[in-house]
Structures are given as C-alpha cells and as structure tokens.
Structure 1
Amino acid sequence: MGYLFRRLLFATRFNDSKIVFSRDVTPDSRMLFARDIRERVRRIAPFLQYDGDPYAFIADGRLMWLVDGMTTSTAYPYAERFGDHLNYIRNSVKATVDAYSGEVSFYIIDPEDPLAATYARVFPGLFKPASEMPESIANHLRYPEDLFKIQTRMYAMYHMTDPEVFYNREDLWGLPREIYKGQQQEVSPYYVNMQLPGEQGVSFVLFTPFTPSRKDNMVAWLAVSSDVDEYGRMVAFNFGKQHVVFGPMQIEAQIDQDTEISKMLSLWNQSGSTVIRGNLLVYPIDGSILYVEPLFLAAQASQLPQLKRVIVSDGTKVEIGSDLPDALAALTGWRKSSGTSTLTEADVDQPGYGGEGAVDQDGLSAGAALDLYRRAQERLRAGDLAGYEQLQRQLEQVLKSMADGE
C-alpha cells in the first residue's frame, strides 16, 4: 500500500476512509482488486478477445485459472467476415491467473501470429514465450470452445472443394439439434477422450458432429486435439452420402418412442420432481457410433439435480441403465432386463476382468468393461494420466470385442 499518498489514492478509488485511518493497513499491505478472472486479464490486455469459459486447474500445488486469448482483426485481405466483428482470429495467447496471489502471466503459444508478435514488441515484458511455460501448466492446455465454434460454422460451408458444388451450395452442412431440459437446442462442442482414426492412443479432443442443412441425419464430425504434442491438429471424418448415420435428434426421437423410458419419465414428472434430459453425446468407436444421454432428477424443493439413469444407443436400439456400465451391459446383451447390474465382486476378480495385460477373450463382457471403467476413473482422480490412458485403451478393446460378438 505504500505510505500516505498512495493510501489516499486507494481510499479515493474505493471510497473507503478505513484504508487511510485503519492501523491494520501498513506499508507492506497489498490491495487485490479486479478479482473476476476475465475482467482481470481484460484490464491488463484489452486488445485481446477472451474465451468465455475460463477453467481452473492445479499446477505445482497451486490453484490456477487459464483463459484463452485470441488476436482478431476486421481488415484481413480477401477473408470472409464472421458476423460483423472479425475476419481473422487466432488462439495465440494463453493467460494464467494465480487464484491466491492474483499474479497474471501471458504466454504466446503461436509465434507465427504477426499480431501477437506486434503486441509483444509494443508491450515488452508483458508476454512470455511458450518455452517458458511450466510443464505443469502446459499439460492442462485445451483448445478454446469459442474459437472452435467459429471454425465449425465456417467449415460447414467451406468443406466443399468442388467449385460448382460450392457455388450452388449443394452440400451445406449444419450443426445438429438435441433435446435439453425439455427444449430443442443446438448441440454445443464438447471435450472427450477418444481414439482418432488411424491412431493407437487416446487423445483429448474438442468434438462436434455435423448434419446436412435442414436435415437430422449425421454426415460428418470434426475434432481438434488438445494434447501437448498435437495441440490444434484437426481431424475431419466424413461418413459419405452412401451411408445413413442417425443424428442426435433422430436418437432423441427413438428415446421418446421407447415405452419403458416414456413411462419412467411420466412417473417421475408426476411425483413432484423435474426430469432433466442432459446433453446427448455422440461418441465414435471403431467405425460405429455410440450415443449417450444422462437423465437427471431434481426435486422442486432443492433443485439440485442427481444423476438417476443413463440412456445409450447404437443407432438400432435404445437401452437405459442405472449408470453407464449398466446401460452398456443392456445394449450389448449382457443384461437383458433394465435395472441394476448383477455383477458381483467374484466376477470382477476372475481372470480377464480388467487386468493390466491383454484382456482374456473368454472373459469379455460388461463385467470387464465395468471394472476397467471404475479403475480408469480412479487413475484419473489420482492424476495418473498414463495409467488412465492405458485402461481406456483396454476398455475400448473390451467394447469392440463385445460389439463384434453381437
């Protein structure tokens, strides 16, 4: 706080005379203000645009916040505008905020961006190169959702490479819709761990499906990697017009037509509670598609939703379970009736149920999937990403074998 003059300035700024007269305020005191994460970084670097979803993480034992910063322009030559406010955007800056001290650091992760390089020369000392970013922070980077939304909008039109098709707009795509909290809405991109086509390992990606314009079937999906070694790499998968793949709204229609699920939802809605249908997730698995939708129940008194059921579908049938492993067991035929799985601890301890090595083909069942899923979540909570990825690969092997055995 310094001495009297500086304290007078702070007292005037915050309209608080205690800053001047309180004995608790000493020359060593520090004033922490602008504590909202986005407001804090915006005051320091107002020339950047920021992603609307800052996220917290732990690095070296400290709670940190990360905000994605984008350089933008409206004057890039021969570039189409997105809306009315930009025709150039790059995710060149990552800003971190220490949740305790408020210390802010800006890192330039795209040194080839001319705007970011110019800002770094205009404001020397404000930006740090990506090489100075600690590994504990780099491991938590993820691709910004707001930027990906813009890119998916543009790709829905510019995926057409044939000039005549593009000119006539014969193959326009759109973003699918889903039912969320009883209302139709556009499917938002979501983060998921998945194995990309042609790769062995599991990648952490931001994912979105596409449908033809004004239609509900799914024609393609787009994913962008958030892994450190492949950050920003995009993968597009086109199903082709000769294949009919159900989109989210078509699966929502199948769910609505299921008599068992309809009875359950009607009963819950009549009991003084509110049923919340969560986001319908599309998950590609080895050339096929798995659809997952959680069901939440919120009492009118508390309005705190609780996960009650999980609905899954492979496009041909719909099943419901008390959790994801239970629903998958019903979908693959291991459990014929709805309700809770009858797996016992003795079943889990048998060979082939989630061991560290290869999965025994004779023991492939939802029991193995259940055990692998639980163990993977334990590894994830413990921060063991390598162990989590290994168990995820084993889980995918089990699910593939179960699908092949149908």
Structure 2
Amino acid sequence: MGVGSAKDIGQGAGVFRRHVLYIPGYDPFPPRRYRELYRTEGAAQAAISGYRLAIQPRAGETYGWRVAAEIDGRAVEAEVEVLVWSDLVKGSMGRGIAGTYAQLARTAWLYLRSGALKRLIRLRKGPMIAALYPAVLLVVQGLVALAAGGLVLWLTRALPWGLGWLLALASGWAVLEGFRRIDHRLFVYYLMHDYAFTTVEGGAYPAVLEARLAAFRARVRAALASGVDEVLVVGHSSGVHLGVSVLADLIREGVPGGPALGFLSLGQAVPMVSYLPGAARLRGDLAYLSTREELTWVDVTAPGDGCSFALCDPVAVSGVAPEGQRWPLILSAAFTQTLSPETWRALRRRYFRLHFQYLCAFDNLSGGPGDYDYFRITAGPLTLADRFRGRKPSASRITTPLSPFRDMA
C-alpha cells in the first residue's frame, strides 16, 4: 500500500493520537537527517508490511514532523519531536589534533584505572572492540606520523640541525592532519570525542548537559498535558541513558494521569557510562526507573549491532537491580532473522549503518520476532504497553552484575 498523502488517510472518530519524543545519540548533525530517515524508511516499511504512512511538516519552536497513518484498519496521528543536543556534541568535538590525543590519554586512563575496561570486556566484547577502535587507530596514526618525521629527519641530515627537525615536525604534523581530514570515512576522531564526552566528569553529566535534560523533561511534561493517547520517549544509542535520567526525574516530580507513557530504548550502550566511578546519578536513575508503574520500558538491541551492549539488561548488569524490578523488557531485533539474507549480506560489515537499523525498515519480519517494527510502534494504533503485553524477555538476556561501582545518587 505504501506512503500516501495525508488527505488519503482517514482522520475521523477513533483516531489514535501519539506524541513521540526522540533523543538521538552523540550526533553533531542537524535533526533533519532523522526526518529524512523516517520518511524514506517508513515508506519502505509501509510498502513491505501493507499499511499507509504519510509525513507532514510540523510547525513550532522545536524540530519535528507529523505522521498520518492507517495501520490495522485504524487511523493514527503522531507528532514526532526531536530533542536536540547536537549543538553540545559539536561543541565537544572542536578539540583539534593535540586535544584529541589528550582526550585519548585521559579517557584510557579513567577506564583502566577504574577497572571498568576489563569488566566491560567480560560483559560484551563487540562494543568494546568498537570502543578500542579509535584508540588503536589514533596510536597507529601517531606512529605513522613519527615514522614520516623520522624519515624526513634522516633525509635532511645534511641540513642544519634545527632546519631538519623543523621539517620533520612539519611532515609528522601534516600526516596527522591528513588523517584528520579523512575522518569522515574513518570515524576515529568522532568516536574518540564520543567516549571522551562521557568521561568529562568521570561518568557524571556535565552541567551543560544537565540543563538540557531539564529542558527535555519539560518537553515530555508538555506532551503529557496535550491530550494524546500515548507519549512515547525513544532513546537511541547515547540517547538511552539520557532518556533514563529524563524519565526518572519526571516521575519523581509526579506524572499526571492521562496518556500512557512509554520508553523505547534502542541500541543502548548504558554500561559504558554506568560502569564509571562518577555515574552514581545514572545508576540511581536506572534502579528507580526499573520499578515504576507509571511507564512501560522496552529495550531493543541486536547481537548483530557491534556498537551496542546487545541483550544486556542495563539495570542488572550495572549491579543496581532492586527488589521488584519490572523494567526494562529486553528484546532482540534479531537482524539475522528479521532482515532478508540479501539485506543482511549487504549490511553485515557496515557497522555504523547497523547501529541505526532499529530506525529503519525490516524486510523479513515473518522470519523472526516480528513484533519489532519501529513504524508500527511510533505510528500504530497500540500503545507500547499493549503491543508488548505478555511478551517474555529474550532467552539470551544478560543480567550478570559486573560493574565495579554500585553506589547510587
């Protein structure tokens, strides 16, 4: 059936209304990329699954879009709002070459000194390979630069001593600058800045980020007061632990009755933060949110995503699972089953693309746990609670508490 215009989709009585608040991961790009991703992948999923989906512009001070859909015979209106922190990400990335190497030294020292690194490797090797990738590549780039400088120094040994050293330093720096200029292909600096941002305060949120979380909380509260049927917070990657803290603070303040409240966490890497010594605030938020009746929390990862801690219960593995833990419900997107063999072959080596697969179309939903469909969840006629009611957690769920720190704020 595919995508149609909003006029083609019924909007009469019984329309289900939802407000989606999307928290991106560590991403310096403008939020419009998420609108385009939703538009193109939503069209693909609608064509595959046989429902109708239309994207419309959205007015307002915050960035987002509207969705009109007809799924399972019912009309749905969804407002999708992106909770932007890309400006903070951009600000944290302007370190230059020397600053990035300083970040490498400080970040590596924190993970090694605290004991977090060896615990994280025991928990999941895949995301730790991804975490070590920028460190190893930066070291390799540094060695190449040193070798280039040494070669120039040898070739210019007949020149005055000071001139030879100046040329050697310049050539080494030119090599490092060359690597930095092609980082849009290597993602070395980007990933290093990502991990360094997490460790600025030893795992605690920097003051500027705390202020942004308060603004996010105000947006969620406004959505709860808008008269919709469901308010759904979606966190992806680093946006997951931000969503945990936003919702924990919101519920502590008191949630008014009315819309259902859902939290969908996708591709989480929570242990990268919660295993750090300064993350007592996050650990406390995880423990608190995991018991609350005010919301439904579903966590979706996939072993095929090497950038996430797949199937790890972020509360339990952080060592803060309380008595009466209810959430999250741990589910697998099972890429090897929910993607056709052709699609899986095309994507299996594209690690960063796979990290975004949760936001994309699946072309083999009949081949696996087909209850995960991002567009049915965000634009379908069932709340998150109703869609996954009675669903058992993945049999491969990991709950081993390996965090070296268990204190909670």
TM-score, structure 1 normalization: 0.26
**Higher strand proportion (structure 1 or 2):** 1
TM-score after normalising by structure 2: 0.26
**With CA pairs under 8 Å and 6+ residues apart, which has the higher RCO, 1 or 2?**
2
Rg comparison, structure with higher value: 1
* Bigger share in helix: 2
